[in-house]
Amino acid sequence: MAKIRAVIFDLYETLITEYSNESRKVSRISRDYQELIGLSNKEFSKEWNNRQEIRMTGAFPDYFSVIKDIIEKQSLIYEDKVIRALYRERVHEKSVPFLDILQEIIELLEVLRKKDIKLGLISNCTEEEVQSWKYSELAQYLDEVIFSYQVGFAKPDNRIYELVCSRLGITANECIFVGDGGSNELDGASRNVMNAYHATWFIPEFISSRITDYKKLKKPIDLFKELETYEI
């Protein structure tokens, strides 16, 4: 029976959520990119998503460089004050999920710490998305935190899983990885011999049902039941 020495978590839609009753806590409807930078919201979304991977790996040093790249590639004119305003909105949007952490999550982390299990975090993110991390209630519980933009690679890249294990001083088969499944993170964890579990407590059934290869945790407390099957 495997000995579990650590639990590694994803961040968004695992420890925190951007949604409430299946709607975003901070609406994006009011943003009119056509008026702000000369692109329709649909066009902006396409350009933003096209840069997803290189945003996550820090190839763009910050939010401003991403927006300027989008605008300049379209040969549009921009004002710095507009980009600064968009940045402030983005930071606010991403800070809100940190304000109301699910109590069951806190209780889970507290019990895991009492069991002397190391806790880690791997998040595919950019600088502005995690500005509020250091102020959050979660930060005190994690032994190691890896943000993809800081290390230069993102899930499901093998290196990010290897890095968290190295920093925690464990082997991959000594840990459990828990995530909502975005970015093929569960496949990446499993490929690295981690024990991967699908966290579904924040995501609706029509989304969670798309992933069928991993055991689902419908509530944070379900992780305790799984831990009972391992040596700790």
Q: Where are the domains of the chain?
A: 6-21+100-227, 23-96
Pull the structure tokens for residue 109: 């982390």
Q: Are strands 23-24 and 19-20 parallel, antiparallel or unpaired?
A: antiparallel
Q: What pLDDT sits at residue 142?
A: 98
Rounded CA separation 232/228 (Å): 8
Question: What is the model's pLDDT at position 31?
Answer: 82
Spatial separation of the C-alpha atoms in residues 86 and 63, rounded to whole Å:
9
Nearest to 172 by CA among 158, 183, 151: 158
pLDDT tens across the length of the chain (232 residues) = 679 999 999 999 999 999 998 899 998 777 889 888 999 999 999 999 999 999 999 999 999 999 999 999 999 988 999 999 999 999 999 999 999 999 999 999 999 999 999 999 999 999 999 999 999 999 999 999 999 999 999 999 999 999 999 999 999 999 999 999 999 999 999 999 999 999 999 999 999 999 999 999 999 999 999 999 998 8
Written as one letter, the residue type at 178 is: V
Cα distances (angstroms) measured from residue 4 to each of 25, 35, 167, 171, 172: 35, 53, 16, 10, 10
Integer Cα distance of 7 and 144 in angstroms: 11
Which pLDDT score is estimated for 1?
Answer: 62
**Closest C-alpha to 64, from 88, 43, 42:** 88
The pLDDT value recorded for residue 193 is 96
- Which one-letter DSSP state was computed for residue 136? S
Give pLDDT, residue 30: 72
Structure tokens of 154? 């993102």
CATH topology of domain 6-21+100-227: Rossmann fold (3.40.50)
Cα Rg of the chain (Å, integer): 19
| pTM of the shown model | 0.95
Q: Closest by alpha carbon to 129, among 154, 104, 105, 107?
A: 154
For residue 156, say if its preceding peptide bond is cis, omega within 30 degrees of 0: yes
Give the list of residues 6+ apart from residue 48 with CB closer than 8 angstroms, or none. Answer: 66, 70
What pairing do the DSSP bridges indicate for beta strands 216-217 and 6-9? Answer: unpaired
Task: Give the pLDDT score at 232.
Answer: 87
End-to-end alpha carbon distance in the chain: 10
Distance of CA 101 to the CA centre of its chain: 14
The secondary structure element, H or E, covering residue 118 is strand 118-123
